[in-house]
Amino acid sequence: MDNTSLLYLVKRDFKRERKRFIGALWSIFIATSLLFLLLSLGLGIRSYVIEKILSRLPSNQIIVRSKPLDLMGVSFSSSKSSGLNNNKVKEYESWKEIKKVYKQADAAFPVHVYGKLIKSYYGSDAIIVGYDSEYLASGQDWEDKFKYEPGKPVPVVASSTLLEIYNEAFASANNLPRLTEKDIIGRELFLDLGKNSLRRAEDYSPLNVKGVIIGFSNISTIFGASVPLEYVLKWNKMFGMKDNNYSALILEVTKPEYVDEVVSRIKDTGYRVESNLELSRRLTTLTRVMIGILLILGLLFLFLSLINLVNIFRLIVNERKREVALFRSLGASIKDIISLFVLESALLGLAGSIAGILSGLVFSLIAQKYLLAALPSFPFKPLYLFTFSPLAALLIIAGTIVLCVISPFSIFVKSASSDPAKHLG
């Protein structure tokens, strides 16, 4: 059978079996549309996680903290018992796998922060964290301002995340104007050390300290103020801390491949270790699981459409037994008969999958527009919900065609291989 005859028969069959083929086409269309939609949603989640979260986490960074005291399931941590001192800093600096050690000290006393913002005074209980200047300020525009200078206002670095929370949640809820970093940098604020709305430090008089906001950082403590390390060490001593222990040590490992080894060594010494690499792995695994679930759900719809396709071709083949036998008696080979059915099923897969992907693309763009518009403002609100991959679209089309051919293939072979005399007699 030549190609012209084959195409003629395919065209004839599509006209003759129009209703059944439309039913098969519709089921493939729905299935591939949902598959592409769900897969694009999964890829959108992955892109959001990578861009918003993982990109902010240096993979070669490790944070070492003391093991917290655990009483009846409640953990308490105090820098008084951390044991993270200058001797420990020197020890870690001697390790060949560690490039740099940065120190961090948390305020061991209650703190209340207040200042003038938009013609009114606002205040909140907060935490103060002291960082090595080299760690927090390196490469920033305000690097030369983030330093210990007694007698001058304390340089304070605020969190970029906190500003986003204010703009997207607090400001919109209270009809306040949105603020930029330029609106806040240079503003004065006051730190009430030794007291907050819940308690005050026992046996010590509160201290009021003037500060000035010099900049913003993604790694600054979120709900509080980040200041040069020396201030917190000084204030902790004033409020009864008798040692110079640190709350945490931030280790910069020479290569990411050394992180697991360093983490294991430090954990063996009794410290609690937080690894950005481990967090990245967990988030990546979680994202892959979510994409896998969405993909399985989409493939389930495709599987149901293939069942419908198989049933349709089973009916068609049963009704065309005599016609197939006649073709065979007139010289058509088994290969010719199989090719006819394969081409019909492949065309159904091609047309259904292309239409499904185009439909999924249009629907997802419309859904994305209206869903994002309907969602209230909140921190980390994504700019998009779906990520469209041309490669994924091509794979869905190719996979659908293959599955549409393979699923009813045994029916085609059985029909083409049957004895013509059996159906013509």
213 has pLDDT over 80: yes
* Residue 200 pLDDT level (bands cut at 50, 70, 90): confident
In a domain, 414, yes or no: yes
Last residue of a domain, one of 234, 254, 274: 254
In a domain, 271, yes or no: no
Token output for 260? 């697991």
Same domain? 180 vs 132: yes
Residue type (1 letter), 50 = I
What average pLDDT does range 285-289 have in this prediction? Answer: 88
Q: What is the pLDDT of residue 74?
A: 43
Does the pTM exceed 0.75?
no
What average pLDDT does range 80-92 have in this prediction? Answer: 79
Q: What is the pLDDT of residue 69?
A: 44
329 or 310: whose pLDDT is higher? 310
In a domain, 169, yes or no: yes
* Residue 78 pLDDT level (bands cut at 50, 70, 90): very low
Same domain? 107 vs 247: yes
In a domain, 259, yes or no: no
Q: What is the pLDDT of residue 362?
A: 94
For 331-374, the pLDDT digits (tens) are 888 888 899 899 999 999 999 999 999 999 999 999 888 888 88
Q: What is the pLDDT of residue 400?
A: 95
Same domain? 356 vs 390: yes
Cβ-proximal residues to 243 (8 Å cutoff; 6+ apart), any chain: 80, 85
In a domain, 29, yes or no: yes
Three-state secondary structure of 328-392: HHCCCCHHHHHHHHHHHHHHHHHHHHHHHHHHHHHHHHHHHHHHHHHCCCCCCCCCCCCCCCHHH
Same domain? 170 vs 81: yes
Kindly state the percentage of the chain with pLDDT values over 90.
43
What average pLDDT does range 59-79 have in this prediction? Answer: 61
Last residue of a domain, one of 254, 274, 300: 254
Rounded-to-integer distance, Cα 398 and Cα 218, Å: 44
Same domain? 397 vs 304: yes
Q: Average pLDDT over the chain, rounded to whole? A: 86
Structural domain count of the chain: 2
Same domain? 88 vs 162: yes
Same domain? 298 vs 409: yes
Same domain? 144 vs 162: yes
Task: Label residues 153-177 b or e (16+ Cβ within 10 Å = b).
Answer: ebbbbbbbbbbebbbbeebeeeeee
Task: Flag the least confident range among 24-28, 73-77, 222-226, 317-321.
Answer: 73-77
Instruction: Identify the domain containing residue 50 by its residue range.
Output: 3-54+283-424
Same domain? 246 vs 305: no
In a domain, 266, yes or no: no
Same domain? 34 vs 66: no
For 124-140, the pLDDT digits (tens) are 888 899 999 999 888 88
* Residue 34 pLDDT level (bands cut at 50, 70, 90): very high
In a domain, 159, yes or no: yes
Same domain? 113 vs 159: yes
For 136-180, the pLDDT digits (tens) are 888 889 999 999 999 899 999 998 888 888 887 777 777 888 888
Same domain? 317 vs 395: yes
In a domain, 264, yes or no: no
Q: How many residues are recorded in the chain?
A: 425
